[in-house]
Chains A and B, each alone.
Chain A
Amino acid sequence: DAGVTQSPTHLIKTRGQHVTLRCSPISGHKSVSWYQQVLGQGPQFIFQYYEKEERGRGNFPDRFSARQFPNYSSELNVNALLLGDSALYLCASSYWTGDTEAFFGQGTRLTVV
Chain B
Amino acid sequence: AQSVTQLGSHVSVSEGALVLLRCNYSSSVPPYLFWYVQYPNQGLQLLLKYTSAATLVKGINGFEAEFKKSETSFHLTKPSAHMSDAAEYFCAVSVLGNTGNQFYFGTGTSLTVIP
A106–B100 touching, CB < 8 Å: no
User: Could you say which interface size class chain B belongs to?
Assistant: 20 to 34
Residues 40-69 of chain B: 1 if any A CB is under 8 Å from the residue's CB, otherwise 0? 011111100101000000000000000000
Does A97 count as interface, using CB distance less than 8 angstroms?
yes
CA A35 – CA B99 in complex, angstroms?
A: 16
Tally inter-chain residue pairs, CB-CB below 8 A.
Answer: 75
Q: Chain B: which residue is nearest A106 at the CB level?
A: B43
B90–A43 touching, CB < 8 Å: yes
Does B102 count as interface, using CB distance less than 8 angstroms?
yes
User: Could you say which interface size class chain A belongs to?
Assistant: 20 to 34
Chain B interface mostly: strand
Does B84 count as interface, using CB distance less than 8 angstroms?
no
Does A82 count as interface, using CB distance less than 8 angstroms?
no
Known A-B contacts A43-B44, A55-B99, A90-B44; A101 and B104 likewise in contact (beta carbons under 8 Å): no
Does B35 count as interface, using CB distance less than 8 angstroms?
no
Q: Chain A: which residue is nearest B91 at the CB level?
A: A42
B46–A43 touching, CB < 8 Å: no
Known A-B contacts A100-B49, A100-B96; A45 and B44 likewise in contact (beta carbons under 8 Å): no
Does A31 count as interface, using CB distance less than 8 angstroms?
yes
For the complex formed, measure the closest distance between the CB of A57 and the CB atoms of chain B, giving whole angstroms. Answer: 8
Contacts of B41 in A (CB 8 A): 109
